[in-house]
Amino acid sequence: MKRWHFMAMAGLLLLGAAAAQAAQVGLIKIDGAIGPATANYVARAVDLAVAQNDECLIIQLDTPGGLLTSMQKIVEKLFEDRVPVVVFVAPSGAMATSAGCYIAMSANITAMAPGTTMGAAHVVTLGGSGSETNVDDVMKQKLEKVGVGYLATIAKHRNRNEEWARTAARESDSKTADEALDIGAIDFIAKDLPDLLQQLDGREMNRKTLRTADAQVVEMPMTPSEHLFQLFWSPEVMMLLMLVAIYGIIAEMSHPGAIFPGVAGALALILLLYMSATLPVNVAGIALILLAVALFIIDIFSPTHGVLTGGGIVAFFLGALMLFNHAPTGYHLSVSWIISATLVTTAFFVFVVSKGIRAQFKPAQTGLETMLGRTVNALSRIDAQGGRVFIEGENWNAVSEMPVEAGQPVEVTGIEGLTLKVKPKN
């Protein structure tokens, strides 16, 4: 009996040891602006952590902010509480500002590394023409109240400092790791990931005691499609799509029959319209860019000696500068991108489009059409019944409504089959 009792105890110990060894923690890293790809990444990671029965999911966060809609989707996913979620603002020098502050505050446990920052959660206007109208002021007030109330609700739900949450959303207040710990905005400070796991061990979350001290950390990287989506959903890509749409459509118009530029431009335009529904763009910026395109084209036909082209360069630069000036942090175009796009667009219109459009209006250089407008001498008398002229090294039949005597100059006005229509040349 004692022998069986001993074996049962040994079996239970082995099972406990195996269970301890089997403890696993999921880890994802968010580094950059919050967008649709980030929301998909977090949702997939939460589902995977639940399926793998992970002790918890750690989100290592370093973001300047991002899109309001994507942030809301992440918060809603974390509030499901299907698996304990820990947001770790790291490494040293990282930040969780704007949309990142909302995400950090919505986690079950929030920790920060030394030298990190959290806050500046003021909601900015998403889109608009940029004009300071009463309607814009009302909208800004509404967005501010929504942001303040939303972050305060998150803080209350997670038992964090609700008053500071209101201040962070209303006044863009930011806190260092030590300050955030002092006011109860975070749970603790961890030097690095191993220190984080040690401090998490034994904590109770969602009616579950965490065993993280010796847990295996399994990182969940972005899938190739999420990586592509993350790169695709950026202001730089949107600017490139706009340029491809402009270049492709204009190139097809100036070089009819090329087909490829027109197809590429149409596809880019469709993708551009799809992205503009999510990424906030300034209507005034788009209007200035379209004005620049119009000035470039008009200057091809007008003897302005480049004045309109100069105006187009200025309009394009200002339009690109204003295009994303209402976007959240992390979704602004750099000046280097704007200058490069302006120079490339100017070169495209000056050296490509102008040549193609002018070629459309040039007189024919080969074929029968080259004889139109030519002046030659009549070989014989020419009238409505017929006559002869010598042109392009050949004798041609010719007719004229007004009789022309031999040797007189005539101008070719038309061609019907093998007969030229001519008129006396005064």
Task: Give the residue carrying structure tokens 């998909």.
Answer: 40
Q: In what order do the strands lie in the sheet with 188-189?
A: 188-189, 109-112, 85-89, 57-62, 24-31, 216-219
φ and ψ at residue 390, rounded to 5 degrees: -110, 120
Mean pLDDT within 249-257 = 73
Q: Could you read off the pLDDT of 176-199 as tens digits, one per residue?
A: 999 999 999 999 999 999 999 999
What are the Cα distances from residue 374, in Å, to 125, 381, 413, 423? 65, 18, 8, 11
For residue 115, which of 175, 204, 205 has the smallest C-alpha distance? Answer: 175
For residue 179, which of 112, 128, 262 has the smallest C-alpha distance? Answer: 112
Q: What is the pTM of this model?
A: 0.68
| Number of C-beta neighbours around residue 78 at 10 A | 24
Lowest mean pLDDT among 298-307, 316-325, 356-365, 408-417: 356-365
Task: Give the residue carrying structure tokens 């079950």.
Answer: 108
Report the amino acid identity of residue 246: I
Q: Could you read off the pLDDT of 140-154 as tens digits, one per residue?
A: 677 778 888 999 999
Strand ranges in 181-248 using DSSP code E only, listed in sequence order: 188-189, 204-205, 208-209, 216-219
Q: Could you read off the pLDDT of 11-31 as tens digits, one per residue?
A: 555 445 444 456 899 999 999
What value does the mean pLDDT of the chain take? 81
Q: Report how far apart the first and last C-alpha atoms of the chain are (Å, whole number).
A: 134
Residue 286: pLDDT band with limits 50, 70, 90: confident
Element (DSSP H or E) covering residue 42: helix 36-51
User: In the prediction, which pLDDT does 379 show?
Assistant: 85
Rg, the chain, Cα only: 36
Higher-pLDDT residue of 100 and 422 is 100
Q: What fold is seen in the domain 15-227?
A: 2-enoyl-CoA Hydratase; Chain A, domain 1 (3.90.226)
- Could you state, in order of their start, the residue ranges of all structural domains in the chain? 15-227, 234-354, 370-424
Q: Which residues neighbour 154 within 8 Å (Cβ) at sequence distance 6 or greater?
A: 75, 102, 105, 106, 160, 165
If you classify domain 370-424 with CATH, what class do you get? mainly beta
Q: Which residues neighbour 72 within 8 Å (Cβ) at sequence distance 6 or greater?
A: none
Mean pLDDT within 327-337 = 72
Mean pLDDT within 366-394 = 78
Lowest mean pLDDT among 85-89, 144-148, 232-236, 393-397: 232-236
